[in-house]
Amino acid sequence: MRSLSDPFLTLHEEPSDAEVASHRLMLRAGFIHKVAGGIYTYLPSAVRVLRKIEAIVRKEMNRAGGLEILMPSLQPADLWESTGRWEKYGKELFRLSDRHERAFALGPTHEEVVTSLMAGLVGSYRQLPVLVYQIQTKYRDEIRPRFGLLRGREFIMKDAYSFSTSEEDAKAIYHKMQEAYRAIFRKLGLRARMVDADSGLIGGNLSHEFMIMAPSGEDTVVSCQSCEWAANIEKAEGMDACPLCQGSLSRETAIEVGHVFYLGQKYSLPMNGLFSDQDGQEKPFVMGCYGIGVSRLMACAIEQSHDDRGMIWPVSMAPFQISVLPLGPAASESPFVKDLVEALMFRFPDEVYIDDRDLRAGVKFGDADLKGFPLQVICGEKNLASGNVEIKVRKTGAREVLPVKAVPERISAILESLGA
C-alpha cells in the first residue's frame, strides 16, 4: 500500500530572499509558501508543528485557570477610539471599511475587544478574578516584514488577559503567568530566557519578555556576567553595570517569543470596565496581558536547532516523531516492513511518516534530514534479508541495526532519552 501523495514535500531549491536558517529551511522543506510579503500559507508539516505548540500552550493556560475564548479579527474603529489607539497605533494597524463606510481594524491585539467584553459581563467583585485567552491570527502592517515567520504581517499569537479587583491579585496572576510561560518553553524543548522589560516610566509598571538567544535575532538582551539579572536593551539603556551586583554586562542578540505585561487600569479606565467592590464602590478592573508568538516559536525552534543538512526538531513539536524509509521496491513490499509500520502506528499513533516514494535512497535520506524528524527507521534490502532495520537519531547521527521486532520498544526508549 502506498501513502497518499504529498505534493508539498520538498523544494530543493535555495530560496533567494531567505536570510535566516528558519526561513530558508521552511521554504526548502515544504513547510510554508509565500503569498505576499510577511504572509504565508502553512503547509501540512507546518500545521502539524503549530498544532503541537498550541496543544502545549493550551494545556498550561488551562492549568493556570485560563478560559479559552475566540474573539473576532474584525474590530470596529469605535472600540479603538475609546482608548485613543485608533490614532496612536499608527500605520501598523490594518484599517478597512465596510459597505456602509464604517471603519474597522484587523486586530493586531485584543485589549479593547476583551475589555469591552468584560465590562459587559462582569458586574461584581464576586466574578473576579478571571483569565481569558485565545489562540488566533493577528494582523500587523510591519514596516519590515522579514525572516519568514519571525516577523510576519499575519501571524498566530496566544494572547491572554486577566481581570482582577486589586493590584495585589493582578500581580499574583502575573507571576502565575511567568511560571506558565517557563513551563511552556521547557515542555517545547526550547531554551528561553526571561528578561526585565519594565520601561520604568510609571511606578508599578511590570513587564517581562521571554527571549530565545539566536544570532539572527532582532532584539538584544543585556545580561550580568556575575548574577542572573538580564533585561532588554530598552530597559538597560544607559546602564554600565548590573543594578543588582555591579557586575559587568554583556550583550547578545535574541528573538522575543513571549511578553507579559501588568496593565493596571490603562484600558479599564477609559473603557469604563467597572465592577462593584465589596464596599459597594465602582472600581476599574486591574488588568494584565500575556502574549506568546505561536508561529514565531515554530521558526525559533529551527533557529535554535538545525545543522547544514536541515531542521532538527525537538520531539515535543516535531511534525512526525518517526520516519520510516523503505529503500527500493522490494523493501516497500517486504512483510517485515509492513508489520513494522503497523506496530509503529499502533504504538505511536499519528507520529509515523512513511516515505514510500519511488525515489533513490540518497534523496530520501536528504529529505528526512532536511525535515528533521527525530528518528529515522531505514529499511534497506540487505538488512531486511536478515530481519533487521537501522535506526538513525537525527540529532546525534547515532545509528544502530536491530531486529524488526525490537524496534518499537527501542524507539520508545530513544524518544524518552530525547526528552519526549
Q: Which parts of this chain interact with ligand ADP (CB under 6 A)?
A: 109, 140, 142, 151-152, 155, 157, 256-259, 291, 293, 295-296
The least distance separating Mg ion from the CB of residue 202, rounded to whole angstroms, comes to: 17
Min CB(256)–Mg ion separation in Å: 5
Instruction: Write the CB contacts of 149 (distance below 8 Å, at least 6 apart in sequence).
Output: 22, 23, 26, 32, 40, 155, 295, 296, 298, 299
- One-letter amino acid at 208 equals H
User: Is residue 259 involved in binding Mg ion (CB under 5 A)?
Assistant: yes
Give least dist CB 387 to Mg ion, A. Answer: 55
| Chain-centre distance for alpha carbon 186 | 12
Segment interacting with Zn ion (CB under 5 A) among 28-36, 240-248, 373-381, 412-420: 240-248
Q: Which residue number, 73 or 109, has a Cβ lying nearer to ligand ADP? A: 109
Cα distances from 47 to residues 30, 156, 375, in angstroms, run: 11, 12, 20
CB of 251 to Zn ion, least distance (A): 14
Contact segment (CB under 5 A) with Mg ion among 11-19, 255-263, 313-321, 340-348 equals 255-263
Contact stretch for Mg ion (CB under 5 A) within 59-67, 253-261, 345-353, 388-396? 253-261
SS (H, E, C) 386-398: CCEEEEEECCCCC
Residue among 257 and 271 whose Cβ is closer to ligand ADP: 257
Residue 242 touches which of ligand ADP, Mg ion, Zn ion, none (CB < 5 to 8 A by kind)?
Zn ion
Identify the residue among 185, 229, 285, 353 touching Zn ion (CB under 5 A).
229
Compute the least distance from the CB of residue 279 to Mg ion, in Å. 36
> Counting every residue, how long is the chain?
420
Q: Which does 258 bind (CB under 5 to 8 A by kind): ligand ADP, Zn ion, Mg ion, none?
A: ligand ADP
**C-alpha angle 55/59/64, rounded to 5°?**
150
Rule CB under 5 A: say whether 158 interacts with Mg ion. Answer: no
Asked if 247 is part of the footprint of Zn ion (rule: CB under 5 A), the reply reads yes
- Smallest separation (angstroms) from Zn ion to the CB of 241: 8
Judged by CB, which is closer to ligand ADP: 85, or 259?
Answer: 259
**For residue 244, what is its C-alpha cell?**
543588582
What's the CA gap between 142 and 137, in Å, rounded?
Answer: 15
Number of C-beta neighbours around residue 273 at 10 A: 23
User: What residue spans of 325-360 are helical by DSSP H?
Assistant: 329-333, 335-347
The CA distances from residue 89 to 77, 80, 260, in Å, are 12, 9, 19
Task: Tell me the residue nearest to ligand ADP as measured from the CB.
Answer: 293
Which of 35, 67, 239, 244 contacts Zn ion by CB under 5 A?
244
**Please, are residues 302 and 27 in contact by the beta-carbon 8 Å criterion?**
no
Determine the Cα–Cα distance for residues 146 and 140; give it in Å rounded to an integer: 13
Smallest distance from ligand ADP to CB 221, Å: 13
Task: Scan for cell 518517526, then name that residue.
Answer: 322
Interface residue list for Zn ion (CB under 5 A): 224, 226-227, 229, 242, 244-245, 247
What residues make contact with Mg ion under the rule CB under 5 A? 259
